[in-house]
Amino acid sequence: MSDACGSKVLEFYQDSVVLITGASGFLGKVLLEKLLRCLDARKVYVLIRRKRDYNAQMRLEQILKSLLFDRLRNETKAAKGLFEKIEAVEVNFERDDLGLEPAMRDRLRSEVEVAFNLLASVNFNEALDQALETNVECTRRVLNLLSGARRIKAVVHVSTFYSNCNRTMIEEKIYDDIGFGGYDNIKSTFAKLQDDKHKQFLSPVVLGEFPNSYTFSKKCAEVVVRDKFGHLPVGIFRPPIVTSSYREPVPGWIDNFNGPSGMVVPLSQGLYSAALLDSRKKPFIVPVDFCVNALLVCAYDVSKASATKTKTIPVYNYTDDSNLWTWGQVINGFFSGLGPIRKLVAKYFTGTTTDNPLRYAICKRIMMFQAFCLDLIRTFTGKEKIERPYRAKFDPNAFQGDRDRLMLVQ
């Protein structure tokens, strides 16, 4: 990015009011930190749902305690004042009005200028009707709120590069080949079904070539954004596999076991780990700080596109066609970061990559037995068992194995 463009982006965010959904997620946390540390925004509204006994403000405080924000705390004299720019807004995404009080709703609509919708469920094995509810309907409710925003300059909906993974060529446009009469028809059909067994029977038919409910629901969300909210200055950002930070704010920071880290972490601990993938395929992987930088620039670009009164919604595929690394080379990179003994053990014993489903099924049994043994150890030492929410029924074929969630233990 040129200095001239960089200065225009900084000017775009200066003294602006920003709204974020999904700030409790991996990408959302880094976006929030970057906005506070580098961009002189006047206010940042964070829409957060209540979770168990934690209200929105308590959850925001938990987010800000993260190691991710240490640089901001330690290097910025006015860190306290920056944190005071954030306001947690408690919402209920299941309600059409988001559960907002009229006064708060009007306040958001009168102040917000830039919005980032990162809200999504990334559970690849989620029931299709629930994935559509979270990834499509919740997006619709957020954009309904923003439809009344009087000062809005840019809205960026974060999708995924794999929203059209059934295609060999993915252009920067919205594909509406959902089938079955479109999204609204699919939604109404599922609403009429009361029996979960009927929904489970219908789901594979609706998904067709899509590997999971996540990718399909994100595709549907893009179509809804285009059809229902084309009047907004809105754009769609499609990131690929997002992994640990490269430099900012902490090199190598990550807070989840998704993607490549799902294999690296157990290997670094001497545990057995496996992934179903074709080692000859070339994945698209991007550090989270690079992804956030691109996301921030896209919002600026969306505002420019809206100023030209273009009717086409800008779509940004954040990928690099010069990518030369295969999965095999990526995995070898993982091994090279280990010590000599662990590298040898991992390469030949504890790290398995295969494109054979039968062999992978055996590998999963090994991982489950490993988890069972470690749970026993924790029980005997008076510790609680580690929860493994993705242990059952996860589809390992999603994205050709590039985000295989392993049954991890600590």
Decide if pLDDT at 395 tops 50: no
Let me know if domain 8-240+284-317 sits in CATH 3.20.20.240: no
DSSP annotation of 405: P
**Confidence at residue 400, expressed as pLDDT on a 0 to 100 scale:** 34
| pLDDT at residue 398, rounded to an integer | 36
| Residue that has been written with the tokens 């100023």 in this structure | 307
Instruction: Return all residues near 64 (Cβ < 8 A) that are at least 6 apart.
Output: 83, 86
Length of the chain in residues, anyone?
A: 410
Distance in angstroms (rounded) separating the CA atoms of residues 51 and 69:
22
pLDDT band of residue 393 (cuts 50, 70, 90) is: very low
pLDDT > 90? residue 96: yes
Has residue 89 got a pLDDT over 80?
Answer: yes
Query: What is the pLDDT averaged over residues 366-373?
Result: 92
More confidently predicted of 264 and 54: 54
Of 19, 249, 246, the C-alpha closest to 118 is 19
pLDDT of 168 higher than 90? no
Task: Kindly tell me if the per-residue pLDDT of 391 is higher than 50.
Answer: no
Residue 356: Cβ-neighbour burial (10 angstroms; 0-12, 13-18, 19+):
exposed
Q: Give the single-character DSSP code of 51.
A: B
Residue type, 203: S
Question: Is residue 249 reached through a cis peptide bond, with omega within 30 degrees of 0 on the bond before it?
Answer: yes
Mean pLDDT computed over every residue of the chain: 87
Which segment of 76-85, 216-225, 324-333, 342-351 scores lowest on mean pLDDT?
76-85
Q: What per-residue confidence (pLDDT) applies to 77?
A: 66
Is the pLDDT confidence value at 156 over 90?
yes
pLDDT digits over 276-304, tens only? 989 998 888 899 999 999 999 999 999 99
**pLDDT tens-digit readout, 5-34:** 668 999 999 999 999 999 999 999 999 999
Residue 180 has pLDDT above 60, yes or no: yes
More confident: 410 or 209: 209
Give 388's pLDDT tier (boundaries 50, 70, 90).
low
Based on its alpha-carbon atoms, the radius of gyration of the chain, rounded to whole angstroms, reads: 22
> Which of 101-110, 130-139, 188-197 has the lowest average pLDDT?
188-197
d(CA 52, CA 184) in angstroms, rounded, equals: 32
Neighbours of 77 (CB within 10 A): 7
d(CA 335, CA 345): 10
Q: How far apart are CA 341 and CA 355, in angstroms?
A: 26
Which residues are CB-contacts of 177 (< 8 A; sequence separation ≥ 6)?
Answer: none
pLDDT band, very low/low/confident/very high, at 4 (cuts 50, 70, 90): low
What distance in Å separates the CA atoms of residue 55 and residue 90, rounded to the nearest whole number? 7
Alpha helices in 14-125 (DSSP H): 26-38, 56-64, 70-75, 79-83, 102-111
**Residues sharing a CB contact under 8 Å with residue 174, sequence separation 6 or more, in sequence order:** 222, 223, 225, 226, 236, 313, 315
Asked if residue 220 lies in contact with residue 178, where contact means CB atoms within 8 angstroms, the answer is: yes
Instruction: Outline which parts of the chain fall under CATH 3.40.50.720.
Output: 8-240+284-317
Structure token pair of residue 194 = 């009361």
Task: Quote the crossing angle between the two packed helices 3-13 and 288-307, to the nearest 10°.
Answer: 80
Q: Containing H/E element for 143?
A: helix 138-147
pTM recorded for the entire structure: 0.87
Find, among 152, 172, 160, 106, the residue nearest to 131 by Cα: 160
Rounded CA-CA distance 27/92 in Å is 21
With DSSP H G I counted as helix, E B as strand and the rest as coil, what are the percentages for the chain, rounded to 5?
Answer: 50, 10, 40
204 membership: H or E segment, kind and range: helix 196-207
Average pLDDT over residues 226-234: 94
pLDDT in tens, 31-64: 999 999 999 899 999 999 998 889 999 999 999 9
The answer to whether the CB of 199 falls within 8 A of the CB of 193 is yes
Angle at 373 between CA 354 and CA 265, to 5 degrees: 50
**Is a pLDDT exceeding 80 seen at residue 397?**
no
- The yes-or-no verdict on residue 406 having pLDDT over 50 is no
